[in-house]
Amino acid sequence: AQRVTQPEKLLSVFKGAPVELKCNYSYSGSPELFWYVQYSRQRLQLLLRHISRESIKGFTADLNKGETSFHLKKPFAQEEDSAMYYCALSGRAGAGSYQLTFGKGTKLSVIP
Amino acid sequence: DSGVTQTPKHLITATGQRVTLRCSPRSGDLSVYWYQQSLDQGLQFLIQYYNGEERAKGNILERFSAQQFPDLHSELNLSSLELGDSALYFCASSVAGQGAYEQYFGPGTRLTVT
């Protein structure tokens, strides 16, 4: 079974402060991990995936297989980063199919 | 705009009733996924269809069913509705049915059961 845990429901930081949104996963195979973001009144959208190793909007995430973690980081938070962030894992759900399992999300609030 | 559309935006109905939610995937995407988002359970995967066929099943109740039509749009049918079925229902699409392809989400349908 695959599981994604985001331990913080709410994270408040001041503008300009570093941000780290935690994500831990449980999966027996080789995981494919994503971060999705949902801004207020908008649809869920992909922020980044571990396989591309890119930085989007200043956010980065490194897959640590030893700690089974995929924490999302940004050195300097901006007010427009305030949103709901979901960590997700894509793993095999059966023969030839994959399932995206989401964590329960962390609401990031950036205080001006 | 990701191109995934969902109708209706809002739906209010009574317990015991049946509703149908509709989703149109992005042009060219063959896979459609349905998710339920509630305050206590978070975002839960319900079911996936790929090119008209069921591909994967998640935490979908027997009272719920889905299908994908030849034009690739999908419908999620919820019957014998209970108060606990009140939630946001998201549809997502991706280009393929296998592998970790990016999923593009629709705006969701908010279902309220009274």
Instruction: Provide the 8-state DSSP code for A80.
Output: G
Is pLDDT larger for residue B35 or for residue A31?
B35
What pLDDT, on the 0 to 100 scale, is given for residue B6?
Answer: 97
What pLDDT is recorded for position A100?
84
Is any Cβ of chain A less than 8 angstroms from the Cβ of B38? no
Q: For residue A2, give the DSSP letter.
A: -
Q: Are A4 and A87 in contact (CB under 8 A)?
A: yes
Backbone φ, ψ for residue B83 (5° rounding)? -55, -35
**Per-residue pLDDT tens for B58-71?**
889 999 999 999 99
In terms of Cα–Cα distance, which of A35, A43, A97 is closest to B1?
Answer: A43
Please check whether residue B33 touches A, CB under 8 A: yes
Taking alpha carbons only, the member of A62, A59, A55, A70 closest to residue A25 is A70
Q: Which helix (H) or strand (E) holds B17?
A: none
Secondary structure letter of residue A64 according to DSSP: B
Buried b (16+ CB within 10 A) or exposed e, B74-113: bbbebeebeeebbbebbbbbbeebeebbbbbbbbbbebeb
**Is 70 exceeded by the pLDDT of residue B98?**
no
Which residues on chain A are in Cβ contact (under 8 Å) with B24?
A: none
Instruction: Tell me the sheet residues that pair with B111.
Output: B11, B87
CA distance A61 to chain B (A): 17
State residue B1's pLDDT score: 54
Confidence at A2, pLDDT banded by 50, 70, 90? confident
Which residue, among A75, A72, A94, A92, has the nearest Cα to A32 in the 3D structure? A92
Res. A35: pLDDT tops 90: yes
Indicate the pLDDT class of residue A9, thresholds 50, 70 and 90: very high
